[in-house]
Amino acid sequence: MCASGQVYDRIGGGYAQYRREDPRIAAAIHAALGGAGSVVNVGAGAGSYEPADRRVVAVDPSPVMLAQRNAGAAPCVQAAAEALPFGDNTFDAAMAVLTLHHWADKPRGLAEMRRVARGRLVLFGGHNRERNGSWWLHDYFPAARRLVAGQPGNPASTGRTVAAERIASVLGPVQVIPVPVPADCTDGFEAAYWQRPEAILEPAVWRATSALSLIPAADRAAGMTRLRADLASGRWHKRYGHLLTLGELDLGYCVIIAE
């Protein structure tokens, strides 16, 4: 099994509840798909962000994730991004949402997406390294910062931030569309709680956020202790209270389109 399958078998049990698609992010992804009538969703997980107005086939290596798909969700295949079980040019488009950072071989997975899609590829994730690491979470959890950073310059790195330039080195020229994260984002990925620090303290929340669930337990516990103390003392609000006035924040998440 590939790395992403192993990861989500371990941490993915609560994704259907805590990783529900955000409609504003979904709108950006669906618009990027353009007129594609058929789409393969690579690393599809529980099915968030799959458009209902076109034919979709989902792919994910984790049975834990696939078991959480709704009865009416798109048909799914258990397979890895690096070995998609489809012929060349099978689909009009391919999409991959918040998954690329977990692939064991990112260039190979991207090449597979290109092979099976005759049209555009659409990816969504934290593709701006500087902005992706620019908020308070990493001040409390330095291990999460190290996880995000991975190995700069290595396209096959396990780092979580996969820069647009690295994607373009495999796929050719890309269009990058920044997608601000709403303050009330309903999809609990790493940056979703930038205005709701109390939520991070809830075990069910951080367990569905790989940037927190995959770091060493001691580092996570130390960060939780500091965050809890700073919220109780008011120190968090003194340092980061300006965030409470914002409706959305650019944290480096983008839709990337490769034609």
- pLDDT tens-digit profile of 160-175? 457 889 999 999 999 9
- Looking at the DSSP assignment, which residues form a beta bridge with residue 115? none
Angle 221-222-228 from CA coordinates, rounded to 5°: 85
Measured CA to CA, the distance from residue 227 to residue 75 in angstroms comes to: 42
Instruction: Count the neighbouring beta carbons within 10 Å of the beta carbon of residue 184.
Output: 12
What CATH number does residue 75 fall under?
Answer: 3.40.50.150
- Give the least confident one: 14-18, 87-91, 152-156: 152-156
| Residue range of the domain that includes 208 | 3-258
Q: Please check the confidence at residue 11 and state whether its pLDDT lies above 60.
A: no
pLDDT at position 34 over 60: yes
pLDDT band at 121 (very low <50, low <70, confident <90, very high): very high
The number of domains in the chain is 1
Q: Which of 52-66, 78-92, 233-247 has the lowest mean pLDDT?
A: 52-66
Q: How many whole angstroms separate alpha carbon 224 and alpha carbon 233?
A: 14
Maximum Cα–Cα distance for the chain, whole Å? 59
Place of tokens 């990816």: 123
Q: Among 112-116, 143-147, 165-169, 191-195, whose mean pLDDT is lowest?
A: 143-147
pTM for the model stands at 0.89
Residue 23, pLDDT > 90, answer yes
